[in-house]
Amino acid sequence: MREVLRADAMRALVRRARRRGESIGFVPTMGALHEGHLSLVRRARREHDRVVVSLFVNPLQFGPREDYRTYPRDAVRDARLCRAVGCDWLFRPSATALYPLDFETSVRPGDLAARWEGAERPGHFSGVCTVVLKLLHIVEPDVLYLGQKDAQQAAVVAAMMRDFNMATRLSVAPIVRDRDGLALSSRNVYLNDEERVRAAGLPRALLAASRLARRGVRDARRLEAEARGVLRREAKPQRIDYLKVVDPRTLAPVRRLEGRGLLLASVRIGRTRLLDNRYLIPKRGAR
């Protein structure tokens, strides 16, 4: 595995590979890697001749009171993990390399970014789209790999790629969960032991709503109430930022499941914000 620090060097490596007829898979990360990230790298490894992983904590997607400075970082460990799962090139640009002092252009996403995380974290998706667009122009991959845990992020990035006529294809992989069901996240390290036990109530709450939908319940309020009840009993969150049944394509809230729905959730356990989601697939018939 080769570590690459400069954008021009990264682009040169990729273009030489393309002249040899090799395909490129790309996994963007902010480091603090876990099995969810590594599963994306393994998938890219199976499907491509070359695999690029980026390691960049993007300041543009953090708000002024968020955890940019304290976000977990361990570049040595991340490099070791990437090497072990078959990464060819680990791209580690500095903030000043991607955002020089005269940098002034950013991406403004549309309505998909306005709700949920966009409402909780103003400017977040502009930062996400800006860095992803820059990385795609540098790496020029055949396929970009993202995880379903950040479902809204994947939808916003997909819309940006479509709107800018990007040649890269997006592949969204299923959520990777711990044994107790909690979705893997770099921020899980913020949880203390007691909070970590409570956090497992979040996936159980979503699963309860999913089971209710499979029994034929289509009313979104009933499904949300089921999830909210389990969440409050088992996770005892300090705050529920949102817990909503939405259309998987538009992310707009729905009153009733007419087909597959998506239950989005963000809660705070202690000082840690946790995101999760689960598809709701109703049984035929309705109540």
Q: How far apart are CA 86 and CA 183, in angstroms?
A: 24
**Is 37 part of the annotated catalytic residue set?**
yes
The residue from 37, 48, 124, 137 that is catalytic is 37
**Closest Cα to residue 112, out of 248, 280, 266, 257?**
248
Residues 6+ away with beta carbon under 8 Å from 93: 5, 6, 7, 10, 54, 56
- Paired sense of beta strands 24-29 and 143-147, if any: parallel
198 in Cβ contact with 231 (< 8 Å):
no
Backbone angles phi, psi at 244, to 5 degrees: -145, 140
**Closest Cα to residue 27, out of 196, 46, 72, 179?**
46
Q: Kindly report the number of other CB atoms within 10 A of residue 186's CB atom.
A: 18
- Paired sense of beta strands 261-269 and 239-246, if any: antiparallel
* Catalytic residue numbers, as ranges: 37
